[in-house]
Chain A
């Protein structure tokens, strides 16, 4: 083999190399593939460097923001961040049973809310939960105003009575330094973390939280943590941390803590509403599906996922309407654009160039101007109605309503998107040789038969390309439906825009956008399966 390769290359040698089963080698014995890849690497690298600026731009300005927005549709760290203790305590609450969470949960809520109102975050949390549980935001606002006045000293007094060391910061330092502190007293540990941040916010960074005795909420949680320990663990504590807990086994049953639940109930009845607690528990995880459920008019209840009550369903209808109107627009564009494209492709170059300019003219006019022009034309006191009345087709009372409804959206958007149908159709028709039709006729086909059997099938690629363009553009259209759509002609994108800029429910906006995106991709996939995307020609 190698002898052949070392020999001067002749036709015979090449033939020999080609006929062997082994991978072909270059003259210096390296595999041909490797050498080729090496030779091409430079070109590839240069090509990559050329597109690098665009790639960077797209990643920074397009992929990353969109990825971020899409992530917002499931992201839900806010509950865990603002109510860390409550989320942990609530995890063990069985929401299907018909009873409120335990006093312990209320204690953690009080502790968390104390910090939240200090950091002014409880209203944000209220707003977030309000998306899923309307009305709860006022409960949070009210409670935030009152939390500082909650009674919380009962546990502190009881512990201090047992051992006066609990009146000093030193008790808390030695408690922290217990070997199993975080696992034995989880709620207390969380409360101490809250306390540190509370002090930092209240007093500034120069005050060390460990030099102070924590507030009563922390004592309450320590009481609850102790109550959860069994007698064996308590006895171990008594011996291992005698300076803090001497006599705890005996004292604990006589101790009391504040009744936080009653205090919460006094502030607002919402706190004894089971549904509110179920929602808070459902929203505890950092990733939730509530936005997606909302975007398809569903919600998660104690019984599982259910459709919302009929009068609260809007998005599915809106999605269906968006698809239906987009389909109508696409079909209108095909019906109107096909003859125009045919004219463009068959007329003489001079005339067709002239026509092409007329087709492209709308592209050079502002979208707003075009849409506004339709308002002028279509409104009830507008040009078209005036002419119809003048001709006598309708009377004054019967002026047609063609704007601020679905008709307006369909008319204006068909006009705006028509070039996107005509241009691909035109470029495809341009490539269809007129001899096809002649051949068909010479074989005996009538004009219509030749058209449907020969011409039309060859334009399907153009119809496909135009339809994809028009449909995908229209399904996400915003400005025209906003201006001429009224209430019956608005699209899902208008609703998304509303949530982005007015209701500020970005999570729901993202979920709606993600659903829209998935829908478009699914339709694209279906199109690829049915028609074949390789058949699409744009020119």
Chain B
């Protein structure tokens, strides 16, 4: 499945999707992640065939499908509110795509049974969708999208309506189904945990453009720009000016004059402004003097979160600098008002495009 220079506009004035290029390998689980209005659902709808692409071409198995109607694309789809047909039983819902494919009754029943067993709802075939819980409906929707053995399954925020616990459980189930069937999945969500847990690769959308397309760990460890760094996980921003670039490394002077070193990822020439992205759990409180970066900060607030302490500090002009301290029990809790020195490695500090 491949997007080539796809553009989409609804009103002829604003581009919702700007020059999308995306290549998905067979069997891959790709998530489109982004805030609402970033164009991710539009991409999915273009892929499913419900929205025509304004420009560019979409390929499925190397065949252009722009002029193929949705019903001939053979793509399974799970909708946000499941879209289970309320007038049919669960089994009838699952049999529907098979009936359309003129499959024999015996084969149909066997496939329906297998699909229901796969989502552990074998005993619920005769129920109406309305008699099922949200999680069960969700599973039926997944089973229905898979029952006719499509090569590609699209999922449009399928877990949005579930509560947190069920959502987490379903994440694993979908992941396992994907692994066992080897089907390609394009998954749309605005929930980064979901994206990170399930995907082989994640495409982060913003303003109709893919900001970064990487495996989840890369996305977190090596964000390509400040938006991704900010959107994925928690992130501390330190703004300053680049003073020296030395291969992978660079030196920066922060706005309050503090000098720090960082990894040069996405910065301009010496003298341009840049933003350092720093994960809160990579910061050490009262470090060895051997650390590459040591900066003073004042504790403003301490939040006890069980497994870790969340310390809000004022560091180099940033009043919302967050430090996560594992609750190891070895050191005394910091108290608001205290001053500490903080240290971090240069590789953990990514110098990215400036945010102002």
Contact = CB atoms under 8 A, between A and B. Distances in A.
Nearest to B153: A442
A33 interface: no
Nearest to A431: B86
Contacts of A439: 77, 79, 83, 85, 144
B81 interface: yes
Given A438-B70, A457-B87, A444 B79 contact: no
Contacts of A161: none
Contacts of B182: none
A123 B307 CA distance: 104
A445 B85 contact: no
A453 interface: yes
Contacts of A346: none
Interface in B40-92: 48-50, 69-77, 79-81, 83, 85-87
Interface string A422-446: 0000000000010110111111111
A78 to B, nearest CB: 57
Given A442-B71, A445-B100, A435 B87 contact: no
Contacts, number: 63
A458 interface: yes
Given A441-B71, A446-B71, A433 B144 contact: no
Contacts of B50: 438, 441
B96 interface: yes
Contacts of B49: 441-442
Interface string B143-186: 01100100000100000000000000000000000000000000
A275 interface: no
A449 interface: yes
A538 interface: no
A454 interface: yes
Contacts of B330: none
B87 A445 contact: no
B125 interface: no
A22 B77 CA distance: 51
B148 A444 contact: yes
Nearest to A460: B87
Interface in A436-477: 436, 438-446, 449, 453-454, 457-458
A444 B83 contact: no
Contacts of A457: 87
B334 interface: no
Nearest to B78: A439
A442 B85 contact: no
Given A436-B85, A457-B87, A458-B86, A442 B96 contact: no
Interface residues of B, number: 27
Contacts of A446: 71
A436 B79 CA distance: 9
A535 to B, nearest CB: 10
A446 B79 CA distance: 19
Contact of A440 (B72, B76, B96, B154): B96
A446 B74 CA distance: 12
Nearest to A449: B100
B331 interface: no
Interface string B261-279: 0000000000000000000
Nearest to B100: A444
A445 B71 contact: yes
A454 to B, nearest CB: 6
A435 B83 contact: yes
Nearest to B69: A441
A454 B85 contact: yes
A229 B174 CA distance: 104
B81 A433 contact: yes
A446 B76 CA distance: 15
A166 B74 CA distance: 113
B85 A443 contact: no
Contacts of B85: 436, 439-440, 454, 458
Nearest to B50: A438
A454 B88 CA distance: 9
A435 B148 contact: no
A433 B83 contact: yes
B97 interface: yes
Contacts of A444: 71-72, 74, 97, 100-101, 148
B144 A443 contact: yes
Given A438-B79, A449-B100, A443 B148 contact: yes
A185 to B, nearest CB: 78
Given A438-B50, A438-B70, A443 B100 contact: yes
A513 B1 CA distance: 70
A427 to B, nearest CB: 16
Contacts of B86: 458
B87 A442 contact: no
Given A443-B144, A444-B71, A435 B96 contact: no
Contacts of B87: 457-458
Contacts of B81: 433, 435
A458 B71 CA distance: 21
Contacts of A458: 85-87
A389 B70 CA distance: 49
A436 B96 CA distance: 12
Interface string A399-440: 000000000000000000000000000000000010110111
Interface string A9-47: 000000000000000000000000000000000000000
Contacts of B71: 441-446
Contacts of A442: 48-49, 70-71, 73, 75-77, 145, 154
A439 B86 CA distance: 13
A435 to B, nearest CB: 4
A453 B75 CA distance: 20
Interface in B93-130: 96-97, 100-101
A439 B76 CA distance: 9
Contacts of B72: 444
A133 to B, nearest CB: 58
A439 B147 CA distance: 13
A436 B75 CA distance: 15
Contacts of B77: 438-439, 442-443
Contacts of A454: 85
A247 B80 CA distance: 110
A138 B328 CA distance: 116
A442 B49 CA distance: 8
A438 B101 contact: no
A458 B85 CA distance: 9
Nearest to A454: B85
Nearest to A435: B83
A6 B271 CA distance: 79
A472 to B, nearest CB: 25
Given A449-B100, A453-B96, A441 B70 contact: yes
A445 B70 CA distance: 9
A436 B148 contact: no
B83 A443 contact: no
Contacts of A449: 100
Interface of A: 433, 435-436, 438-446, 449, 453-454, 457-458
8 contacts: A435-B80, A438-B48, A441-B71, A442-B49, A442-B75, A443-B97, A444-B72, A457-B87
CB-CB nearest 10 A-B residue pairs: A443-B97, A439-B83, A435-B83, A442-B77, A457-B87, A441-B70, A444-B100, A435-B79, A444-B71, A441-B71
Given A436-B85, A446-B71, 10 more contacts: A435-B80, A438-B70, A439-B77, A439-B83, A441-B69, A441-B70, A442-B48, A445-B71, A445-B100, A458-B87
